[in-house]
Chain A
Amino acid sequence: MSDTLHKKSFFRKYLFSTDHKVIGMQYTITGLFMAAVGGFLAYVFRYNLAYPGDHIPLFGELGAQQYNSFVTCHGMIMVFWVAMPILLAGFGNFLIPTMIGTDDMAFPILNMMSFWIFLLSTIVLLASFFVPGGAFGGGWTMYPPLSAGGYTNPNPDFFKAFFSGASLMILAVALEFVAMLMGGINFLVTTINKRTKGMTPFRIPLVVWFINIATIIFMFSVGPLVAGAVMLLFDITVGTGFYDPARGGDPVLFQHLFWFFGHPEVYVLLLPAVGAIGEILSVFSRKPLFAYKTIIYLALLSAILSVVVWAHHQFVAGIDPRMATFFSVGTIIISIPFAGIFLSYMATLWGGSIRFTVPMMWALGFIGTFLVGGLTGLFLGSNAFDIYAHDTYFVVAHFHYTLFPVVFFGFFAAFYFWFPKFVGKNLNPALGKIHFWCTTVFFNGTFFLLFFNGLGGQHRRINDFSLFSNVVKEPYITFEKIATISAICLILSQFIFLYNFVTSAVRGKKAVKNPWDANTIEWVADSPPPHGNFNPYPEVFRGPYDYSLPGEESDFIPQNVPHTNENIPVLKVKLSVS
């Protein structure tokens, strides 16, 4: 499968490509573009929070309705148009075929369609900013009756109602799910059917396992939300009353449908990032990933538990108190498998020979920051304290401490790790380290103090706190300003990344095949892997984490290196790996 057999026009090669690497790149670039959009929205409303009513540089004045739609779209974009394309679709497309040793996805054309439908959903979402009334501003959870206009008009004009911020947002989300389902079925089929010779289930690298578990959670949970979203769309456009109490509907039904998907979604985003972090920790500790099989079982356990936690988002919604207790137990119990995974990761470091490369720093930063997010979840999991903390900045700070490390630390760790492989050029490590430190410091500066604002009683989605005597005082006002200035610096730090990305991709030094001395088989392919990835396909003889085997001269043995004697797995072998 050489390049010459696959001469394609530029158009077929880079735009309408069926190659998984190009599609992965398309997803990642679109996700990064949307991250810039979401980041800009965050800049605008954070500026407004610190200096209410002021003229905002590069934007102007922010009205109350615009504030609401910016907050809403920031959440929507960051979850569905940044985290999903980058972590699930991006990681999945790049890593699955190369790490299991195959040429492409099982259904390449479906894979291409997946991206183009995703791009369509992006366009629909961005278009919603320009319809009359502007983008939807009722919170990213889209709770009716607000999202259905309060059911003031039971006979809506279809076209007018359809071209509104709310219905375009729902349509965009639905299209995005279609795209992700197409991608997801590809991931599962590819992993099950297209593994190279010798790639038994427990020789598959952890990140591929985790992407597949995430895909399964996604597929199990997405159905109710799609049904719920379609009912909401009908309520808006054709005047049905699924959530209208005056006509026998129930607004709380939507909350259940939304969060039945919405909470497992957190683990859909978490798992691919955590998987990638595991690979990186193992490589740079020069040690096998601690308890690799146990981690997989723990992840499967947390996948099962993830469907019995959703109502913790509704503790104060008036659900039955006994039911709330059940979900409180589920929520607190799910901390156990995740604690197991993270403790295993830390145990990987013990006894290692640790190299502080740029990806390793991001991986360690991920664990440190996610720790804060995970532990603050214990407060919110107890339903009595949640009565107070619900919908305050404590919650905002908590989920930013979980999602920001997952989406950005996870992505950057993977980016700095696999960039030499998939782009074929080396990044500048000094700039990478500056980028890491700036991001870590300013991220904590942005969100840490907001915990105190939340405990002080500052509630969410308010563009101007001047009416609320409990929070219009020191130190909360100063905390807001520190958060805003840090957020601006956080956004500016990302230009270091952008500069590093562009200059390295254009002028960087050519990368070698295996710059990190890693074992998994994507490092056996050329950098960047050609169309078809491998020539010939590698055969796999061992698990993915044979680092520092006793008695070996080299501290790593790639998966495609055979045991010299099948009966004795550990033997002295002289390795020659480029």
Chain B
Amino acid sequence: MKIFPENVSTYGQEIDNLFWMTFGFVMVAFVISLFVLFYPLVKNHHSKVKKATYFTGESKKHFRWITIALVILAMSDFIILFAEHDTWERIENIPTGNDLHVGITGRQWNWIFTYPGPDGKINTADDVVIDEQNSELHIPVNKNVIFELRAKEVLHSLFIVNTRLKQDCIPGRMNTRWVNITKEGTYDISCAEICGVMHSKMRNFLVVESQEKFDQYVKTLYEKNAPATSSSNNR
């Protein structure tokens, strides 16, 4: 059985690795703790040991084993912190190149997708907006894509399991996140923050496809949605 679902993003593997690294530390701590807990229960049962040994543990000498354990724990803590900090920075720092920006807005109860219009810029009048149940967000494979995340009325949380990305969407704010997906396919986009009665039904699809197919898709979108404007496509 696989513990994690398939990962398709560039940084997803780092998150999985972080889990396994922490898991290593935790299992060592767990096994040692269980030994420390159970050993005296077996060895010092009152039928074997009639009278307990008196020591208060107040002196440094008595406390030394715990001090050593705590120092090791603190060191493991900092190893985990340093390891995760790199991953955290990579996910939090949005690439500054000339990448595709897509708007994702949570509403009760589906995700709204906004593509930049023929002018190539998002948040302008010619943006193409898709607002329907079960709709698909198409993005190109192996490209940085920046999500501009908003919410209409209540909190939502964008969750794409296979990319390991999660980010709350908050009314009145814009959060940005990015992905770079390495495998073509269709993935679930779900909402991880309770948003009302139909929270369980809030599911759209992320379709990752080759640049050519994506260009074709955007072209048909422009033709369908904006017949008045020129159909030239400059992406």
Contacts and interface: CB of A to CB of B under 8 A. Distances in A.
Contacts of B69: 339, 343
A150 B197 CA distance: 13
B172 A456 contact: no
Interface string B46-67: 1001111111111000110110
B52 A251 contact: no
A251 B58 CA distance: 48
Contacts of B23: 379
Nearest to B198: A64
Contacts of A336: 70, 73-74, 77
Interface stretch (A9-17, A22-30, A164-172, A325-333): A325-333
Given A462-B200, A467-B203, A351 B162 contact: no
A348 B63 CA distance: 11
A316 B167 contact: yes
B129 interface: no
Interface in A332-365: 332-333, 335-336, 339-340, 342-344, 346-356, 364
A375 B26 contact: yes
A144 B198 CA distance: 17
B217 interface: no
A146 B193 CA distance: 10
Contacts of A65: 197
Given A251-B171, A352-B49, A288 B192 contact: no
User: Which of B15, B91, B198 has most chain A Cβ within 10 Å?
Assistant: B15
A375 B171 contact: no
Contacts of B180: none
Contacts of A318: 167-168, 170, 173, 175
A375 B23 CA distance: 9
Contacts of A201: none
A391 B193 CA distance: 7
Interface string B164-203: 1111101111010000000000001010111111111101
Interface in A103-153: 137-139, 143, 145-146, 150-152
Contacts of B168: 316-318
Q: On chain B, which size bracket covers the interface?
A: 35 or more
A346 B91 contact: no
B194 A461 contact: yes
A408 B81 CA distance: 32
A562 interface: no
Contacts of B199: 64, 68, 461-462
Interface stretch (B28-36, B118-126, B222-230): B28-36
A285 B57 contact: no
Contacts of A150: 108, 153-154, 196
Given A145-B153, A294-B63, A388 B166 contact: yes
Interface stretch (B37-45, B95-103, B140-148, B208-216): B37-45
A68 B194 contact: yes
A366 to B, nearest CB: 11
A565 interface: no
B172 A251 contact: yes
B154 to A, nearest CB: 4
B153 A460 contact: no
Contact of B14 (A151, A344, A384): A384
Interface residues of A, number: 96
Nearest to B134: A467
Contact of A325 (B49, B54, B88, B170): B88
Interface in A365-415: 367-368, 371-372, 375-376, 378-379, 382-385, 387-388, 390-392
Contact of B52 (A316, A353, A463, A468): A353
Given A339-B70, A550-B54, A387 B15 contact: yes
A351 B130 CA distance: 70
A205 to B, nearest CB: 15
Contacts of A316: 157, 166-168
A340 B66 contact: yes
User: Which of A336, A459, A550 has most chain B Cβ within 10 Å?
Assistant: A459
Contact of A151 (B37, B52, B85, B153): B153
B77 A468 contact: no
Contacts of B154: 145-146, 150
B152 to A, nearest CB: 9
B6 to A, nearest CB: 9
A355 B18 CA distance: 42
Given A318-B168, A457-B5, A469-B188, A384 B197 contact: no
Given A64-B199, A384-B88, A467-B200, 13 more contacts: A145-B153, A150-B154, A291-B57, A292-B57, A343-B70, A348-B57, A354-B44, A371-B33, A383-B84, A388-B15, A468-B190, A470-B161, A547-B54
Closest 8 pairs between A and B when the two form their complex, measured CB to CB: A245-B172, A457-B161, A290-B57, A291-B57, A351-B53, A382-B84, A384-B87, A321-B92
16 contacts: A68-B197, A68-B199, A150-B108, A251-B171, A287-B52, A335-B73, A336-B74, A339-B69, A339-B73, A340-B66, A349-B37, A354-B46, A452-B3, A457-B5, A462-B200, A548-B54
